[in-house]
Structure 1
Amino acid sequence: TLPTGAISRRFGRRWAFVIGTGCGVLTGVLGSFAILHGSFVLFCIATFLGGLYGSVAQSYRFAAADGASAAYRPKAVSWVMAGGVFAGVLGPQLVQWTMDVWQPYLFAFSFLVQAAVALVAMGIVAGVDMPKPAPADLHGGRPLLTIVTQPRFIAAALCGIISYPMMNLVMTSAPLAMKMCGLSVSDSNFGIQWHIVAMYGPSFFTGALIARFGAPKIVAAGLLLEAGAAGIGLSGLTAMHFWATLVVLGVGWNFSFIGASALVLETHRPQERNKVQAFNDFLVFGMMAIGSFSSGQLLANYGWSAVNLVVFPPVVLGLAVLSLVSWARRRKARLEAAMGEFPDAI
């Protein structure tokens, strides 16, 4: 994410997106070649390139907000995230249709199809009007440290850091936990499919909710829903309990993550956006990686209940910081209003 921000700042988002989708094409080509030739090292290189592609794709939501008015930015972020609904449906189907084409090399053809999809994406982003930054923007704006130490940025980044890793922690553990509880693979697949729909489906109206109620309230609602999902997970071990956990978790992530992204947009000036957004994503997805790595060990050593219990302390912390920053912001606004109305009395 950090190189993505640097390239966007120096050459514009278009070049960053073209390079990222190029990595996506290489992911598919090298992945297929590695499977055909049984090279695990080459396969790991391919998946590393896939990570680079993913890091660029995560910044699409911020790019959509660049050209939007301040009032429309949350909706722009939300609509881009809504694309995940189609990805969640089409992605697994593409794998299902292509994984057995080149027998006995399972998934070899699927990776080539993935390369073709990335190539289509490259053609689309190359044609989008994303102007190169003005020369003044390269050295303009405040230092990054000054921006990221703002209370509002700290609250926004912290909520993103909590919402995404906590969702990922529970999501990646759920199918394994279902297997350990004697449920079928079909039960797991059904739960994950509806989890993906719940993650991205609300995006069609999340932006409107943020515009009406404000990002802090939507973030708080999302964090509470994630805590509620963990509570459902602790209440039983039937397939219905797992499904409900995953659905509520998905909606909670949608509200909290999109809301946190909208909050980040309020913390920087136009010439500062690339470095600030890249740093935010570095924090969020770095913590998500740690959450992914730790979920298996946590589940294996302490069980499904421990996975759900871990969710509560970070959510409480996020709500506390968000409330404190919102209170301070309202207090500052009241003081400024009072100074404007009664300047001699202050």
Structure 2
Amino acid sequence: MQATQPINGSRPKLMSNIPILVLAQVLTGSGLTAVVLFGGMLSTDLAPDPSWATTPVSLAVVGMALSTVPASLLMRITGRRRGLIAGAGIGIAASLLCAYAIVESSFLLFCAGSMLFGASTAFTMQYRFVAAESVAPEHASQAISYVLLGGLGSALIGPQAAMAARAWLAEHEYAGSFMVVGLLYTLGAMVLCKLRPTESTAASTASGGSTIRELVREPMLRTAALSGAVAFGVMSFIMTAAPVSMHLNHHHSVEAITWTIQSHILAMYLPSLFTGALIAGVGERAMMIVGSLLLAASAVVSLFGHDVPHYWVGLVLLGGGWNFLFTAGTALLATHYAGADRHRAQGINDLVVFTSQACVSFLAGIAVIKLGWQWTNLSVLPLLALMVWTASRETARPVRAVA
């Protein structure tokens, strides 16, 4: 197993990466949020059929899935900083394309822009690995949590800025929202210019290491990938369906939908204040089980009603469960692989995670319209039972130092 070669041989110098990554997360995390928040409502008017309302969000996830391996490969060749800046550039292009699609009332162009947002998010999701590479292995879970906490700032700033700008173009509501998102991506690219390299060029481009087949056979990678796939799959399935159900099935106001989704996003990232410390204390597998149980509780809430408070409680639990399960899986992965194996394992993991998410998100719109809100929620319980069973049985191999 090859060891990573830290630049200048000094981890403390790389600690400055953490606030840079947190700020970049705040600025570039608004793209996918805008698609989730406005995509369903816009698509009910732009799409030829209401059941296609979740298509833009689903295509954003497809864009993530298709871009995970290219993003990892690009950063292996060019380095983390240049790769992440390129990802922010894709986000700028996506913002402009979505704004233009709204002006032209083009559902097809809006879907294309949403897919580009997904491609950009594939790069943004790499922030957590860069954070882990910038600290000692025993502090990796805390560094990952801090960067995910940047999503809290994104949840506060992004939706509010987008909502404030939705009437910039009087005849084309929400076009201004995506223009503001493009501005946030531009600021994010500027911040990423200050990022320090986390490994030497020789280390990042070195050949050798385990083959893809060997990596896939490792229980460690399979457990990490399953936790990410379940976390993102369940969260995306329910979160994508929620605005459509609130708008079409139960006729809640735009303000109520915005507040509920924003609360959900806050719940996704606010636990990062303490998730890293919990993982360090009780271990990754225990946190995977807790996260799965919170996701199950979110589904059960739907049995008690469909008023705004029921949606709010369910989606807050959904966000918290995602945070625990996803952070635990990421920590397991980030502290185990080094050298050439690092980029391959991360690419494989994210490909599995976001491909699974893409598959389930395509079904969200159909499920919530055909099955209703309750059965859409309850359908995820078997998958969560599988996750609990796997986390309780798999024994993690000893952590391999990444430096």
TM-score normalised per structure 2: 0.76
Output aligned runs, 1:1-346, within 5 Å: 1-37=68-104, 41-131=108-198, 133-135=200-202, 137-179=205-247, 180-326=249-395
Query: Is the CA contact (8 Å cut-off) linking 2:158 and 2:181 kept in structure 1?
Result: no
Q: More deviation in 128-137 or 313-322?
A: 128-137
Q: Which has the larger radius of gyration?
A: 1
Cα offset for 1:198? 0.9
Gaps of 5+ in 1: 331-346
Distance 1:295 1:283, change over 3 A: same
Cα offset for 1:74? 0.4
2-side partners of 1:175 and 1:113: how far apart? 22
Query: Is the CA contact (8 Å cut-off) linking 1:9 and 1:133 kept in structure 2?
Result: no
2-side partners of 1:237 and 1:43: how far apart? 30
Cα offset for 1:65? 0.7
Letter in 2 for 1:226: L
Q: More deviation in 187-196 or 288-297?
A: 187-196
Cα offset for 1:275? 1.9
Distance 1:208 1:295, change over 3 A: same
Query: Is the CA contact (8 Å cut-off) linking 2:245 and 2:369 kept in structure 1?
Result: no
Letter in 1 for 2:260: G
Counterpart for residue 342 of structure 1: none
Residue deviations 1:24-45 (CA, integer Å, cap 9, x gap): 1222333334444555554444
Distance 1:132 1:34, change over 3 A: farther
**Greater relative contact order, per chain length (Cα 8 Å cut-off, separation 6+):** 2
Distance 1:210 1:276, change over 3 A: same
Letter in 2 for 1:273: R
Distance 1:190 1:103, change over 3 A: closer
Residue deviations 1:39-63 (CA, integer Å, cap 9, x gap): 5554444333222211111111111
Cα offset for 1:69? 0.8
Identity %, equivalent residues: 33
Query: Is the CA contact (8 Å cut-off) linking 1:9 and 1:138 kept in structure 2?
Result: no
Letter in 2 for 1:149: R
Secondary structure of 1:94's counterpart equals helix
1-side partners of 2:366 and 2:110: how far apart? 24
Cα offset for 1:21? 1.0
Cα offset for 1:297? 1.0
Cα offset for 1:321? 1.3
Counterpart for residue 62 of structure 2: none
Cα offset for 1:214? 0.9
What's the C-alpha RMSD, in Å, of the aligned pairs? Answer: 2.1
2-side partners of 1:305 and 1:78: how far apart? 32
2-side partners of 1:182 and 1:109: how far apart? 25
Cα offset for 1:279? 1.7
Distance 1:80 1:182, change over 3 A: same
Query: Is the CA contact (8 Å cut-off) linking 2:240 and 2:361 kept in structure 1?
Result: yes
2-side partners of 1:206 and 1:155: how far apart? 19
TM-score normalised per structure 1: 0.88
Letter in 1 for 2:141: P
Distance 1:30 1:132, change over 3 A: farther
1-side partners of 2:182 and 2:288: how far apart? 35
Query: Is the CA contact (8 Å cut-off) linking 2:291 and 2:325 kept in structure 1?
Result: yes
- The count of aligned residue pairs is 329
Distance 1:189 1:26, change over 3 A: closer
2-side partners of 1:2 and 1:181: how far apart? 40
2-side partners of 1:151 and 1:186: how far apart? 45
